[in-house]
Amino acid sequence: MSHPATDDRQPTHTPAALIAFAWTLVGVPLAYGLYNTVKAASALFGG
Amino acid sequence: MAVPSFLARERIVARPGFNRWLIPPAALAVHLCIGQAYATSVYKASLVSHFESTLTAIGIIFSIAIVMLGLSAALFGTWVDRNGPRAAMFTSCVLWVTGFLVGGVGIEMRQLWLVYLGYGVIGGIGLGIGYISPVSTLIKWFPDRPGLATGMAIMGFGGGALIAAPLSRQLMSYYDPAYVPSDSTSVPNGEAVAALFFTLAALYLVFMMFGAFIVRVPANDWRPTGFDPASVKKKALVTTENVSANNAIKTPQFWLLWTVLFCNVTAGIGILEQASPMIQDFFRTGETSTVAAATAAGFVGVLSLFNMGGRFVWSSTSDFIGRKPIYMVYLGVGMLLYVILALFGSTASWIFVLTAAIIISFYGGGFATVPAYLRDLFGTYQVGAIHGRLLTAWAAAGVAGPLIVNGVLDTQGTPGQLVAANYRPALFIMVGLLAVGFIANLLIKPVSEKFWEPKATTPATARANPERSPVR
């Protein structure tokens, strides 16, 4: 398979929306997990 | 083994101007999914009842998966480095999802061996490939902050369990309305667990494929804006040379680091394995403990948070203070904390919780910092493969840690009647182990020149002949 050499490659631009979408996609489940864990952990402090 | 062209490394070389901040979410998409492996306890009791089996027989599912993780990371590390992160993430996704599907069918058909084969063997191989898949890519995208980069990904592995545990409880209560997640005596039926497996398979397929298709590798000559590679050389243990995976395992540095990781993980597992009964036993008077079961579950939650947070915070900190010093903290301060835990842990609950939480943050930090330590010592050339081989220390510690703690506690009395003093022998063994790790870390010096690859070695030549140049 042939591919252009690195120097010949056309510059690109990563859309900020794609970066925001990607971070949201992983951030939302992580926030859900953190929220539930903090809720469980609060039992330790009488919460 | 060749991969289809759409997965090939050459297809995913980023063009100039690509934003590297798209890579951490790609890595997290994989690690958040495979981190489910540490949430298996939520359906353990259900499987015991469904298969009319024992906790040990069901626990073997997890043990097989972790052993396969260590073995596959060691065996396929070179393949991962050669074919790039998309091929690795794609393969990991296929295996991890297939593991859930086969395991789910095994539960439906009441065939435990199918669960061993599916989740344990097939899923376990997916775990190992998935764990190492983004590591070397992140290190190459973040040469200026490798600790931060690997910390983010490996934090995801800790975060995966935080997501999977409550999500699994909610899904099982949906599939089995009789199951009440908030009632610790309530157990979902086997069909609910099978349905959970199929649902997780679908979710993980979407997430992991997303990661596989947005990931890119940097061009060989790419550098972050304003980053001067020469500045890396300023730190004594940071090399600008490269060492192959085959040569790395011939160096004392590899085995010293293996010892460091083994000791740090064994010590952490000692607490993690016993967290819930341990806090109750430390505050027991006679038959009753002043710590309720719900409070003990809260303690497990606190440890999970520190385990995850430690991965990110300590690994990022290592970029500033260096890898060797941060392991001196993990192991040296860890020793001190274990002594405090053993001698004064039962005097006040805040002392117990604080010391255990910091120890667990060091445990997580040890996992997350080790890829950057390997990069410092052996260069980026085959760092994924070297990392894979180093993870055999994790598999070994996964066996040794529980064996030490359970073995000692078995000689001390009956579960449910143990007190703080019964834990002291096990805790002091952990202090000894951390001392061994501390010394091993102190002995780590730069890798000898005879193991360096010739200067012409690039990722491209390495892929063409991964076993080249056994010695310089």
For residue range B113-122, what is the model confidence (pLDDT) as tens digits?
Answer: 999 999 999 9
- Alpha carbon of A21: minimum distance to chain B alpha carbons (Å): 10
Q: Does A28 touch chain B (CB under 8 A)?
A: no
Per-residue model confidence (pLDDT) at position B328: 97
Q: What angle do CA A41, B176, B302 make, to 5 degrees?
A: 10
CATH superfamily, domain B1-219, is MFS general substrate transporter like domains (1.20.1250.20)
Per-residue model confidence (pLDDT) at position A4: 43
Where is average pLDDT lowest: B22-31, B74-83, B292-301? Answer: B292-301
CA distance B325 to B405: 28
The pLDDT tens digits for B159-217 are 898 899 899 999 999 999 999 887 777 889 999 999 999 999 999 999 999 999 999 99
Give yes or no for a contact between B459 and B272, defined as CB atoms under 8 angstroms apart.
no
Per-residue model confidence (pLDDT) at position B120: 95
Q: What is the mean pLDDT of residues B385-405?
A: 88
Distances (CA, A) of A42 to B13, B274, B305: 46, 20, 12
Please check the confidence at residue B294 and state whether its pLDDT lies above 80.
no
Across the interface, whether the CB atoms of B166 and A10 are under 8 A apart is answered: no
Q: Does A31 touch chain B (CB under 8 A)?
A: no
Q: Name every chain B residue with its beta carbon within 8 A of the beta carbon of A8.
A: none
Per-residue model confidence (pLDDT) at position A6: 46
Across the interface, whether the CB atoms of A12 and B305 are under 8 A apart is answered: no
Domain segments of chain B: what residues? 1-219, 230-472
CATH superfamily, domain B230-472, is MFS general substrate transporter like domains (1.20.1250.20)
Per-residue model confidence (pLDDT) at position B231: 66
- Return mean pLDDT, chain B: 89
Q: Give the torsion sign (CA, B370, B375, B377, B383).
A: positive
CA distance B462 to B242: 11
- Among candidates A1, A14, A23 on the partner chain, residue whose Cβ is nearest the Cβ of B18: A14
Per-residue model confidence (pLDDT) at position B456: 59
CA distance B150 to B367: 9
Report residue A46's pLDDT band, with 50, 70 and 90 as the boundaries.
Answer: low
The pLDDT tens digits for A13-33 are 889 999 999 999 999 999 999
Please check the confidence at residue B53 and state whether its pLDDT lies above 80.
yes
Please check the confidence at residue B465 and state whether its pLDDT lies above 60.
no
Q: Does B341 touch chain A (CB under 8 A)?
A: no
Per-residue model confidence (pLDDT) at position B221: 85
CA distance B362 to B364: 5
Per-residue model confidence (pLDDT) at position B44: 85
Please check the confidence at residue B329 and state whether its pLDDT lies above 70.
yes
Our CA dihedral for A24, A27, A29, A30, rounded to 10 degrees, sits at 180
Per-residue model confidence (pLDDT) at position B181: 84
Nearest residue in A to B300, CA atom: A41
What percentage of chain B exceeds 70 in pLDDT? Answer: 95
Please check the confidence at residue B229 and state whether its pLDDT lies above 90.
no
Distances (CA, A) of B309 to A34, B28, B42, B303, B305: 11, 14, 22, 10, 6
Q: What is the mean pLDDT of residues B407-411?
A: 85
Per-residue model confidence (pLDDT) at position B468: 46
Residues whose CB falls within 8 Å of the CB of residue B112, separated by 6 or more in sequence, listed in order: B51, B53, B57, B106
Q: What angle do CA B279, B282, B288 make, to 5 degrees?
A: 90
CB atoms closer than 10 angstroms to residue B287: 7
B230-472 shares the fold of B1-219: yes
